[in-house]
Structure 1
Amino acid sequence: MIAPYEAAGAEEIAEILATQPAAVLTGAGISTDSGIPDYRSPGAPKRNPMTWQQFLESEAAQRRYWSGAAKGWRRMGRFEPNAGHLALAALEAGGYVVGVATQNVDSLHRRAGSKHVIELHGHLRTVHCLPHGHVETADSLLARIRADNPWLADERVTEGPDGDAAIAEELVDTFVLPRCLECGGAMAPDVVMFGNFVSAENNRAATQLMNRADALLVVGTSLVVNTGVKMVHRARRQGKPVMLVNRGATPVDALAQFRVDGSTSAVLERVAELLGVATPAA
C-alpha cells in the first residue's frame, strides 16, 4: 500500500495523461530505487567522471576506464527494474505514454517492457572499435578483459552510477587493454561520455517523440544536461503541459505546470493505479 504523502501529485499527472498521452524523459533518479547510485541528487558523493577527450588522449586513460568498467558493468547487469520502470511500461501499453527518452545507460526501461525507448546517452550492451566501428557485445569484451587481467576477480572497488568503478592506480598501471578482434584497434563504449554529443539519430528520435506526444513527463532528472532541457523547451513552444517528478529542484521548474518532489517509483505506481493499468510486481 502506497502512503498518501509518497504519491502526492499522482492525481494531477493521471488527470493529464487520461486525455493527453505523454512523452517521458527519465534520468538517474528513476533507477536509484533499483540500487543504482546517482551523482547529482542532494547528498550524492562527489565524483569526477572521465571525459571523452581524456579517453581519446591516452592509453593510460583507457586502462583506467576499462579496468573500472570490467567491474562496474558486470554489476549493472544484476540490477532489476523497479516499480517506476514497470509503471511506465504499463502506461505505454495502456496508451497513456507514447515512449521514453532516457539519459540512463542501464537498459532497465527495456527490461521492464517499455517498447519505444530512446537511449539518448547510449547503453552498456555493446562496444565498438575506434578505427572502424567494429561492434562486439559487452559480455564478450568483458570476458576477454577478465581473462587477460585475472587480478580483477579479487579487487575491491567503489561502484559508480554509470557502470564504472574506482580501481587502485597501481593496479590500473598493470591493466592489459582489450583490442578489436577484427582490426586490433582501441575499443570504446557505446555510451555518450562527458564532452561527447548525443547522436543526430537520437536527437531526431527525441524530437519526433515530443512531436507525437500531447504532454511531457520528466522523471528523476535534475535537467542539467542540455538534451533534456531541449525537450522541455520544445514542449513549451508547442503549448504542451510539462510535469516534473524529481527529488530536488531543477533549472526549469518555472516552465512546468507543476512539479512533484518525491519518490519516482511511488508516484508512477500510483499514476498507473489511478489509470487502471496493470503493473507487474517489482
Structure 2
Amino acid sequence: MKSQVVVHEVNDSALEPILEAIRRGPLSVLTGAGVSTDSGIPDYRGEGSPPRHPMNVQQFLTDERYRKRYWAGSHRGWKTFTSTQPNAGHRALARLEEIGAVNGVITQNVDGLHIHAGSKRVVDVHGSMSRVRCLDCGQYFSRAAIEEQLVELNPHLDDPGFVTMSPDGDAEVNDIEGFQIPSCTVCGGMLKPDVVYFGELVPVTRFASAQAIVAESSGLLILGSSLAVNTGIRLLEQARREGKPIFIVNRGATKGDSRAMVRIHAGTSEFLEALLAQVEGAPVAV
C-alpha cells in the first residue's frame, strides 16, 4: 500500500488517490449509519451517542415480551423512516453510479434511502425495514401492510404515554399485557422484520452479492461506518486480499483505519458532493 493519506477535511490531496482508482474502473461502496445522519436518522454508534442494548435474535424469537416491545417501538421508528428523505450524499452517490464511477452500493442501513435516491445496484446486507417475513410459511409482506394490522389491533398505539421511547431508540410498552402482536395473514405464524438482528447471520446469497460488487471494482470506498459489525470488516478484508485500495470517510475512528490508503475525517455528504464535482469534470472509465 502507498503511504497513507489522513486528513480532517475534504481536499485535493485526499481526493486524488480516489480519482486515480476511478480512472482505472468503478469503485465499490460500503455505507453505514453516518450516510443517513444528514437525513435526520441518528447514528447510534457515533461519538457521543448513548450506550445501546439492542435486542438480539434469540430474545425476539423466544420471549413474547421482547416481541411486543419491538413492534410497539418500531411503529414509531417506521413513521420516522417513511417521512425521511434522501440527503445530498445519497443523491451524489446515485449520480456517481449513473456516470460509471461506482459499480454498486453495499449498505448496512435498513432505511431504503439509497434506492429512494436513485441508486440501482444496492445490496442491503442487513435487510430492509420495508419488508416483513413470516418465519413459519416464508411469506413476505410489505411493512406498510403490517403497520395497518398493528394499528388495527392496537388502536391506542399512538396515544401519548402508551409507548415510551428512550434516547437510545428502545421502547417500553405501558400496557404490555394488552398489546397485540401482528401475525401472518396466510398461516397465523410469527412475523419478523426482514432485518438482521444481533446474533443472526447475513443470508449467504445476499453476502455473495456484496462480495461480487467488491470483486468487480477498482477499490473499496467505505462511508459513514465504524466497521464495528463483522460484515463490513469481511468486505474490507476481501478488498485487501485482492490488492484493492481502501478509502474510508467517517467522522469517528473505525476498525479499518490502519488498512486504508486514504482516511478522511469528515461528513459523507460533504465528501460525496466534492467527489462528484471532481469526477464530472474528468473522464471516467466505463
Normalized against structure 2, the TM-score is what? 0.90
Question: Residue 261 in 1 paired to residue 265 in 2?
Answer: yes
Once the 2 structures are TM-superposed, how far is the Cα of residue 10 of structure 1 from its aligned partner? 3.6
Q: How far apart in 1 are the matches of 2:76 and 2:280?
A: 41
Pairs within 5 Å for 1:136-215: 136-155=141-160, 157-158=164-165, 165-215=169-219
Deviations 1:177-216 (A, max 9, x none): 1111011111111000111010001111011111111110
Q: How far apart in 2 are the matches of 1:11 and 1:32?
A: 26
Pairs within 5 Å for 1:104-115: 104-115=109-120
Q: Which residue of 1 aligns with 2:284?
A: none
One-letter identity of the residue aligned with 2:208: R
Of 29, 52, 72, the residue aligned with 2:34 is 29
Of 7, 10, 14, the residue aligned with 2:10 is 7
Deviations 1:81-120 (A, max 9, x none): 1111111100000100000000000000000000000000
Q: 1:119 to 1:268 in 2, by over 3 A?
A: same
Q: Which residue of 2 aligns with 1:20?
A: 25
User: Is the Cα–Cα contact under 8 Å of residues 69 and 172 in structure 2 kept in the other structure?
Assistant: no
Q: How far apart in 1 are the matches of 2:139 and 2:18?
A: 44
Q: Which residue of 2 aligns with 1:246?
A: 250
Once the 2 structures are TM-superposed, how far is the Cα of residue 16 of structure 1 from its aligned partner? 2.7
Normalized against structure 1, the TM-score is what? 0.91
Q: How far apart in 1 are the matches of 2:121 and 2:18?
A: 20
Q: Which residue of 2 aligns with 1:123?
A: 128
> Which sections of structure 1, spanning at least 5 residues, go unmatched?
278-282
User: Is the Cα–Cα contact under 8 Å of residues 37 and 160 in structure 1 kept in the other structure?
Assistant: no
2:237 aligns to what SS in structure 1? helix
Runs of 4+ in 1 over 4 A off after TM superposition: none
1:151 aligns to what SS in structure 2? coil
Deviations 1:37-61 (A, max 9, x none): 0111100122211000100012111
User: Is the Cα–Cα contact under 8 Å of residues 39 and 47 in structure 1 kept in the other structure?
Assistant: yes
Q: How far apart in 2 are the matches of 1:173 and 1:243?
A: 50
Q: 1:59 to 1:93 in 2, by over 3 A?
A: same
Q: Which residue of 2 aligns with 1:218?
A: 222
Q: How far apart in 2 are the matches of 1:158 and 1:15?
A: 47
Q: Which residue of 2 aligns with 1:280?
A: none
Q: How far apart in 2 are the matches of 1:177 and 1:210?
A: 39
> Which sections of structure 2, spanning at least 5 residues, go unmatched?
1-7, 282-286
Q: Percent identity?
A: 43
User: Is the Cα–Cα contact under 8 Å of residues 246 and 259 in structure 2 kept in the other structure?
Assistant: yes
Of 61, 83, 88, the residue aligned with 2:93 is 88
Question: Residue 275 in 1 paired to residue 282 in 2?
Answer: no
User: Is the Cα–Cα contact under 8 Å of residues 38 and 87 in structure 2 kept in the other structure?
Assistant: yes
Q: How far apart in 1 are the matches of 2:21 and 2:140?
A: 42
Q: How far apart in 2 are the matches of 1:219 and 1:78?
A: 23
Q: 1:128 to 1:160 in 2, by over 3 A?
A: farther
Q: 1:25 to 1:71 in 2, by over 3 A?
A: same
1:33 aligns to what SS in structure 2? helix
RMSD of aligned alpha carbons: 1.8
1:190 aligns to what SS in structure 2? strand
2:248 aligns to what SS in structure 1? strand
Which piece of structure 1 moves more, 8-17 or 208-217? 8-17
2:24 aligns to what SS in structure 1? coil
Pairs within 5 Å for 1:24-63: 24-63=29-68
Once the 2 structures are TM-superposed, how far is the Cα of residue 68 of structure 1 from its aligned partner? 0.9
One-letter identity of the residue aligned with 1:100: V
